[in-house]
């Protein structure tokens, strides 16, 4: 086996993936058992991008993390049309076709950003425009925002954990082989959104699936703040401090959403990151 492959597929990668599974399982159990406020905050945390960036920070320097975060920030703007189009089309043309159409602008935008690159100001402007337009257009789709669900099944948990582990593995390998820009792209791959859509569609139908996607836009705004902080703070203040601030911003944003919405029922699904 070539030395490059051996360097990528080492024991540390397996350890990191096992640690990621433990984090995801813990977050899921807390979300189900700890009550509405804490549960909503835990569910909305970046449980895929968070561990991915922690492991990138262990393996790479401050400049690498800043570059990856800038790439993630710009590409994160593409999640808005994905969620909006998916929410609009899935009840009309089905899950697979709706997601396929929704992925086209995401993939095209991500490719353009990766090829041409963007500055911090351009990345922030892309997010501001994308979220402003999408939040305005998504209002009619929020009528089904409150979706009652039962207890999760084993397959739901397996699919979610598997999707997140796949994201983390892709980020780690991309960082080792392809550099910060590609690692940043991998960190915001919408695999978790896609797996969530499949689970909800199978259990509750197309309208519930659309409601989940539509509700995802507001929690994703907090992720914009977190990535912007990581991109700007990693070099001057160090990647550890930057990661802590980014996590704090995600928690603060979702606490604010919880407060403004008056809390969540234990049997209500809100937007999930």
242 with 73: CB under 8 angstroms?
no
Query: Sign of the CA dihedral 85, 91, 92, 98?
Result: positive
pTM of the model: 0.77
Q: How far apart, in Å, are the Cα atoms of 234 and each of 56, 94, 226, 230?
A: 12, 42, 12, 6
Write out the chain's pLDDT in tens, 273 residues.
444 433 434 444 555 556 555 555 555 555 445 443 444 345 456 767 777 888 888 888 999 999 999 999 999 999 999 999 999 999 999 999 999 999 999 999 999 998 998 999 999 999 999 999 999 998 887 765 444 444 555 666 666 666 666 656 666 666 667 678 888 888 888 877 777 777 777 767 888 788 878 888 888 899 999 999 999 999 999 999 999 999 899 888 887 877 776 654 444 444 333
Spatial separation of the C-alpha atoms in residues 117 and 179, rounded to whole Å: 13
What is residue 43's DSSP assignment? H
């Amino acid at each position: 086996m070539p030395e490059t492959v051996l360097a990528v597929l080492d024991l540390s990668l397996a350890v990191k993936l096992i640690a990621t599974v433990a984090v995801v399982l813990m977050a899921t159990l807390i979300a189900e058992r700890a009550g509405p406020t804490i549960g909503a905050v835990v569910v909305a945390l970046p449980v895929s991008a968070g561990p991915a960036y922690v492991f990138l920070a262990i393996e790479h320097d401050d400049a690498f993390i800043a570059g990856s975060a800038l790439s993630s920030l710009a590409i994160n703007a593409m999640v808005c049309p994905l969620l909006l189009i998916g929410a609009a089309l899935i009840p009309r043309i089905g899950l697979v076709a709706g997601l396929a159409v929704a992925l086209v602008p995401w993939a095209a935008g991500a490719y353009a950003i990766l090829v041409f690159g963007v500055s911090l100001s351009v990345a922030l402007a892309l997010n501001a425009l994308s979220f402003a337009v999408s939040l305005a257009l998504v209002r009619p789709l929020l009528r089904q925002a409150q979706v009652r669900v039962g207890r999760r099944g084993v397959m739901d948990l397996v699919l979610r954990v598997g999707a997140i582990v796949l994201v983390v593995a892709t980020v780690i390998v991309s960082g080792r082989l392809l550099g910060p820009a590609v690692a940043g792209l991998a960190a915001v791959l919408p695999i978790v959104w896609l797996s969530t859509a499949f689970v909800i569609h199978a259990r509750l139908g197309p309208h519930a699936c659309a409601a989940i996607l539509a509700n995802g836009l507001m929690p994703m705004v907090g992720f914009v703040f977190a990535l912007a902080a990581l991109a700007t703070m990693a070099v001057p203040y160090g990647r550890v401090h930057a990661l802590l601030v980014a996590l704090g911003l995600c928690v603060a944003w979702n606490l604010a959403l919880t407060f403004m919405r008056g809390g969540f029922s234990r049997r209500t699904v809100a937007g999930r990151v």
